[in-house]
Amino acid sequence: MSSQSAREFVHWRAEDGVATLTVDRPPLNALSYHAKEEIAACLEEIAADPAVRCLVVFGAGGRAFSVGSDIKEFPEVTARRLGRQRAVHEHALYNRLDFFPVPTIAAIEGHCLGGGLELALACDLRVAGETSYLGLPEVKLGVFPAGGGTERLPRLIGEALARELIYTGEPVDAREAWRIGLVNRLAPAGQALATARELGRVIAARPGATLRTVKAVMDRGLAMDLLQAEQLAIQAIAELFQSEAVREGVAAFLEKRAPRF
């Protein structure tokens, strides 16, 4: 069973438990205000689909996952003093993706820069084609990555490396991104989406209730201190042990058969 929806710059479809949200704004998938609104709307539709167990985010065209914000909008932001409003809007979008109810994967092909990288950072996992480049070049325009880059990048790769990438604005290639932990998996050029979908199908084969629970536990727990996070996990696992997912998983193991989640 599959489902899908399309807008001007963003469309999505779901099949076998894996939804793929595609940004398609040629030539480089710049994230205009309108494109971000469409991403947000699609995320709500996908979240409401109970059959979806994993989400893949992709930038169409092969040249770029996304080069980030549409710079043509910046003069108006400056003239109308909309900097704060713009940042609030971006954080709301990236937080929605970060705290999405099911696991998320960014499939990166080509350039992944600025707000495009911030979009990828809001995903749980990242798969990059081997010819991709990733970076936060905002400092070269006199601004900085204020859509979550200054928060998420240090938490992912460490403070010192994140500071270097943000201060210099210089990108890294896919292999270096993998080496420093910015990317989970490398794929041959042109195969990032296929590789991400394959990983998504593996994840989607797991019980939906468990995926949603562990996603929420990790999302919330990482924002807590250790003891608070432990209590959150204890409560969640206690509730999960009463679920059909655990009953079926344990029964299948004891009966030496494949589980039917």
* Catalytic residue numbers, as ranges: 118, 138
**Can you give the C-alpha Rg of the chain in angstroms?**
19
Q: Count of CB atoms within 10 A of residue 161's CB?
A: 16
User: What is the four-CA torsion angle of 130, 132, 133, 134, rounded to 10 degrees?
Assistant: -100
Do 21 and 66 form a contact (C-beta atoms < 8 A)?
Answer: no
> What sign has the CA pseudo-torsion 90, 96, 98, 104?
negative
Peptide bond into 50 cis (omega under 30): no
Is the backbone of residue 236 left (phi > 0), alpha (psi -120 to 50) or beta?
Answer: alpha
Residues 130 and 176: their CA atoms lie apart, in Å, by: 10
Do 127 and 183 form a contact (C-beta atoms < 8 A)?
Answer: yes
For the chain, how far is it from start to end, CA to CA, in angstroms? Answer: 16
Instruction: Choose among 6, 2, 1: nearest CA to 23.
Output: 6
Beta strands (DSSP E) in the chain are 2-6, 10-15, 18-23, 54-59, 64-66, 104-108, 111-113, 125-129, 133-135, 172-173, 185-187
The CA distances from residue 121 to 185, 228, 256, in Å, are 14, 25, 39
